[in-house]
Amino acid sequence: MKKTISIVLSAALALSLLSGCGGETPAGAANGSRPTGEDSPQGEDQSTVQGTAAELGSLASFSAGTLDGGTFTQDDVAAKDVTVVNFWALSCGPCIAELPDLAELEQALPDSVQLITVCLDAIGNEEIAGDTLAEAGFAGVTLISGDGDLASLAGNLMYTPTTIFADSEGNLVGDPIIGGQRDLSGTYLEAINQVLTAGGKDEISLEA
């Protein structure tokens, strides 16, 4: 059954999930949303289950708070050819299971491509989120609050984990990737190269 993710912007501009996916939820955390452990929702095509990238929105104008107390905006997106954004939750088992693969990919990417995450239930659970990411080896940027296009985009999501791909102007390219992937690096590399070629740039390789 589909679980709709809604974003509530509090005074702190916190992102939170309003519907559950099952499993134990950390104290104070909102529930996550993930229907199955397969590569995509069962019986549904991922390009139509929650809309194409263009239908989800963009990352052209926003400001977000990071887990380490910093700020991340559209200027940081503009500084890279591609920004990969993975939306996840502490209460989502498949999200946490794929974090080591995300960490490995993030470290292998060239400087022109960045991979960041958005933890949708980290507000009030910052220490748990930090420990979870550290255990997975993820050293990249993680957003925990946000406004503008980021909040609108997150409000249009229906599942976690969901990953989207943005060009330097904040336009989303290709279909969102929903659910854990058996070959995460290969699947994401294909999507990254789709963004690059659409912008007239050379494809990349993860080979050393």
Pairing of strands 113-119, 142-146: parallel
pLDDT at residue 56, rounded to an integer:
86
Q: Which two tokens stand for residue 152?
A: 């609108």
pLDDT at residue 55, as a whole number? 80
State the virtual CA torsion across 159, 153, 206, 47 in degrees, nearest 10: 60
47-51, 85-89, 124-128, 183-187, range with the lowest pLDDT: 47-51
Q: Residues 102-138: pLDDT tens digits?
A: 999 999 999 999 999 999 999 999 999 999 999 999 9
- In the sheet that holds 82-88, the strands lie side by side as 71-73, 63-66, 142-146, 113-119, 82-88, 162-167, 177-178
Mean pLDDT score, 10-23: 33
How far, in Å, CA of 160 to CA of 158, rounded? 7
Per residue in 91-103, pLDDT (tens digit) is 999 999 999 999 9
